[in-house]
Chain A
Amino acid sequence: MLFPTFDFALFFLVVFTASWLLLRWSEPRKAFLLAASYFFYGYWDYRFLALLALSSTINYFAGIALTKLEADHAKRKVVIIGVALNLLILGFFKYYGFFLDSLTDILLAAGLERDLPFLEIILPIGISFFTFQGISYVVDIYRGQIKAVASPVELFLYISFFPQLVAGPIVRASHFLPQLSLRPVLDKTAVIFGFLLIISGLFKKTFISHYLAVELVDPVFFDPVSYGSIDILAAQYGYAVQVYCDFSGYSDIAIGAAALLGYKFKRNFDRPFAATSLVMLWQRWHISLSTWLRDYLYRALRGPKRDSGWRMYKNIFLTMLLGGLWHGAAWTFVIWGAIHGVMLVIERLVKGRFHAYVKRREKAPASGETGSVGKALKGYISFWAGWFFTFHVFTVATIFFRSPDMETATAFFDKMFNWQGSLELFTPFMMVLIVGALAVQFLPGNLFERAAVRFQNVGMVTLGALLGGSLLLIEATGPEGVAPFIYFQF
């Protein structure tokens, strides 16, 4: 069930009303939300409900075992088995085809032709997200950061809660499970905040992202050779904006829907295109995945001690490389991860040396003091230089991310720099979408929170009129049909 559909609107209306009618009965309310979440998932393909239940069961029993065991080596074994089972399920569905193809190629190269067991594997939607949540639950218990839940309903609901089930944000057990043992409250601000996020998400997804996809990005990436350099360049920027609006739009709707049901999710995007460094960008882009990779992959690579120097750089690079590989078993994703890994390392190296240079200069006797105007100018230049570098590293890397294969990516670069061809797809409307989406990144980050407080007392009729008016406007101006969310495939 996709968020921007009438099916979801009806589903949400029913679930919202019924769940609040069960307010005084917390266990039945949780059971109802669990059933609703399974219905939501099964609506897409009921066969994978068993997989979702299996994943939750593994993590539930791993949690129970970790609570009961005393010896650290025994706990360690449970964590390893729990994480391995989670990764086995993910790996089978996500990488079976890739490994089979690679093995066939290796055997052929060695002169051994074999018919390997071919299976048509459908990638279950959201498998990465619920697997990551399961891993974080087990590892957090082992690390002593949370306690295992006794109630299977709570654990199953944590893994499958429908707003975040299919494309995140990756909710941490330590953040969500305590909310389940509290009586949910729907205050005036939460209502407005939830609806604002839902409308914002729908606009980002069904208007900005969809138009950019169908009228600029998809045609260019389908056949880059047919388009001129400016269209190619516009598609590069357009895709960065498209993927941002697509994914942050989904996150907005998820966070808004959860808020209306009485649960708080952390922010998943925080104006990433206003970042002036790659480190800052990754602190603002898909925050729940970035922090997940930091806490469970980077920390696993690093070990218990803090690291520095080349060891740290190697671990940063490997984290980004594996992050790239997580998106899919393709060289384009590997290169995307490698670009980010290398550039993050370079940025740290350059920044470290630059700070050391500045400190040396500050200690040196004042030869040519810079005035306040000069300092402001330096700050201004440094801000925009940092922004330009960060944004372009990101958008260049997304060319690999979007390209279906290496041939498309190389053709894309080839056409980008030959400065030939006519202008076909980059219309003023496309420019408004790209520039507008970038410009709003520089506005304050808490606009919705402030608006929710400002309009908290809006009455039912006004709320309905605003909601209906916004939906009507999006429906009347948006492209026909609903494109699936990009991150569903991951």
Chain B
Amino acid sequence: MTKPQDDHTARVIPDDAMSADAESMWNVRRAVGGMLIAIFLLAIFNSEGFTIYARDLPGNAFSDMVVAAADQWNELMTDLGLTSIAESIREAFLNLKETQW
């Protein structure tokens, strides 16, 4: 049994807590990695969303830079044809949605 340095409740944590911590941190890395990959995928395939977000930021020198960078990135993704996937999905969905009786 080890006494944790930070414990203010005088709780004693068994040694296997260390392995629980290791497991937690492994899962944290997995989750953070997953979130970063998800953001990266959105940045590639939905780059227009970033330009919209950037334009909604309060106007200042920094947000101007962000807007310029987001626009450039969006242009690049559009030129590469990567944004067309989201557009195709949206178009197909809207066609389906507009179906009438």
Do B6 and A25 touch across chains, with their CB atoms under 8 A apart? yes
Residues of A420-471 whose CB lies within 8 A of B = 423, 427-429, 459-461, 463-465, 467-469, 471
**Contact flag A27-B45 (CB < 8 Å), given A9-B39, A262-B24:** no
Complex Cα distance A477/B29, Å? 30
B96 within 8 A of A: yes
Do B37 and A26 touch across chains, with their CB atoms under 8 A apart? no
B3 within 8 A of A: no
Do A472 and B32 touch across chains, with their CB atoms under 8 A apart? no
CB distance from B64 to the nearest CB of A (A): 18
One of A13, A428, A475 near B32 (C-beta < 8 A):
A13
Provide the residues of chain A in CB contact with B7, threshold 8 Å: 26
Interface of A is mostly: helix
The chain A residue sitting closest to B17, CB to CB, is A183
Interface segment, one of A123-131, A188-196, A311-319: A188-196
CB distance from B50 to the nearest CB of A (A): 8
Do B41 and A464 touch across chains, with their CB atoms under 8 A apart? yes
Interface of B is mostly: helix
Complex Cα distance A150/B26, Å? 33
CB distance from A130 to the nearest CB of B (A): 25
A404 within 8 A of B: no
CB distance from A214 to the nearest CB of B (A): 12
Do B9 and A191 touch across chains, with their CB atoms under 8 A apart? no
Top 10 A-B pairs, shortest CB-CB distance: A464-B37, A468-B41, A468-B38, A463-B34, A467-B38, A460-B33, A464-B34, A20-B28, A186-B24, A476-B89
Do B101 and A428 touch across chains, with their CB atoms under 8 A apart? yes
Query: Residue among A191, A260, A459 with the most chain B CB within 10 A?
Result: A191
Residues of B1-40 whose CB lies within 8 A of A = 4-9, 11, 13, 17, 20-21, 23-25, 27-40
A375 within 8 A of B: no
Q: Can you identify 19 A-B contacts, CB atoms within 8 angstroms?
A: A17-B28, A23-B24, A25-B6, A26-B7, A191-B34, A194-B31, A423-B101, A429-B98, A460-B37, A464-B38, A464-B41, A467-B35, A467-B38, A468-B38, A468-B40, A468-B41, A471-B38, A475-B49, A476-B89
Provide the residues of chain A in CB contact with B37, threshold 8 Å: 460-461, 463-465, 467-468
Provide the residues of chain B in CB contact with A469, threshold 8 Å: 41
Do A429 and B96 touch across chains, with their CB atoms under 8 A apart? yes
